Amino acid sequence: MRELERYLRIEKFPHIWCPGCGNGIVLGSMLRAVKRLDLDQDQTVIVGGIGCSSRAVGYLDFNTLHTTHGRAIAFATGIKMARPDLKVIVITGDGDATAIGGNHFIHAARRNIDITLLLFNNSIYGMTGGQYSPLTPVNKKATTAPYGVIEPSFDIAELARVAGASYVGRSTTYHSSLLTGLIMEGIENKGFSLVEAVTACPTAYGRRNSMKDGLEMLLWQKENAVQIQQAKKMNPEELAGKIIIGRLHSQAAPEYTDMYEQLINRSGFQTGGTMVTPLKGTQRG
């Protein structure tokens, strides 16, 4: 951890997360990725939504922005548009990114704008105390689903892919070094990258779904994760309830801010050009 201290606002610790929470592991993986890529802290913006995971931005020594619930990607879109040279990383929770923020999520993927989205999937709304999210598996319990969830959940990685994201990866906190590698690939990818980090919330999710602590939840991840190469050899019955991890999708595609730069050139912009109001048929005098 020492080597990562330069990326943290150490004076802001202790953090708010519960004992056994996986968020610290995801954050560690992210910072290792940042370190290995040697990102410039001054030229990197980290944007968070609202939720336990999103609070991480306060602990990170970068240009950091803690936004409104669900809107992190939309704020990040403005930043990236205005300054395409900045690295923009968004960290959000499953509720933040896929419920209230679901629309922004699919549209950022569709535009393939160069933002890396690190989605902390703890299968629950942690900060508000354990209500179900669009990623809570069917039949699992939540404070607002005391009889078990009846809504099918999203495969958020698949959703990102079909919406147009050019990079999609998934790992768990048990497989944290894989997670680091995926985040690195996501950041290096020119386009919209989703890295889904399956993480443990013992407080709001585990307790209610017969996993009593963080360790048990990590072991559950270990038992249930299947590498993508392996998964390709398995049939759907064998894969039921499994978490497929690894690089799930990577396909170069035109990136939004790049295309906008081309549009600027096509529009007749010249650097240092003056501002001239076009005179249409309506002018007089």
Ligand X SMILES: Cc1ncc(C[n+]2csc(CCOP(=O)(O)OP(=O)(O)O)c2C)c(N)n1
Which residues are near another protein by CB under 8 A?
A: 9, 12, 41-43, 45, 47, 57-58, 61-68, 70-71, 74-83, 85-86, 103-104, 107, 260, 263-264, 266-269, 271, 273-279, 282-285
Check binding of 17 to ligand SF4 (CB under 6 A): yes
Cα 155 to Cα 44, 162, 243, distances in angstroms: 29, 11, 10
Q: Which does 150 bind (CB under 5 to 8 A by kind): ligand X, another protein, ligand SF4, none?
A: none
- Please give the residue ranges that form the binding site for ligand X (CB under 6 A): 50-53, 69, 93-96, 120, 122, 124-128, 133
Check binding of 18 to ligand SF4 (CB under 6 A): yes
CA dihedral over 124, 128, 132, 134, signed as positive or negative: negative
Burial zone of 102 (CB within 10 Å; 0-12 exposed, 13-18 middle, 19+ buried): middle
Q: How many residues bind ligand SF4 (CB under 6 A)?
A: 12
Q: Which does 202 bind (CB under 5 to 8 A by kind): ligand SF4, another protein, ligand X, none?
A: ligand SF4
Q: Minimal distance in Å, beta carbon 229 to another protein?
A: 36
Work out which of 92, 166, 203, 221 binds ligand SF4, going by CB under 6 A.
Answer: 203
Q: Minimal distance in Å, beta carbon 69 to ligand X?
A: 3
Work out which of 7, 21, 25, 165 binds ligand SF4, going by CB under 6 A.
Answer: 21
Check binding of 23 to ligand SF4 (CB under 6 A): yes
Q: What's the start-to-end Cα distance of the chain, in Å?
A: 71
CA dihedral over 126, 128, 134, 139, signed as positive or negative: positive
Q: Which residues face 159 on adjacent strands? A: none
Stretch that binds ligand SF4, among 17-25, 57-65, 100-108, 264-272 (CB under 6 A): 17-25
Tokens representing residue 260 in the block: 């906008």
Q: Minimal distance in Å, beta carbon 207 to ligand X?
A: 14
The residue among 76 and 168 lying less far from another protein, judged by its C-beta, is 76
- Integer Cα distance of 177 and 175 in angstroms: 6
Tokens representing residue 242 in the block: 């499994």
- Integer Cα distance of 223 and 243 in angstroms: 10
Contacts of 89 (CB under 8 A, 6+ apart): 30, 44, 45, 46, 47, 115, 116, 118, 187
Check binding of 192 to ligand SF4 (CB under 6 A): no
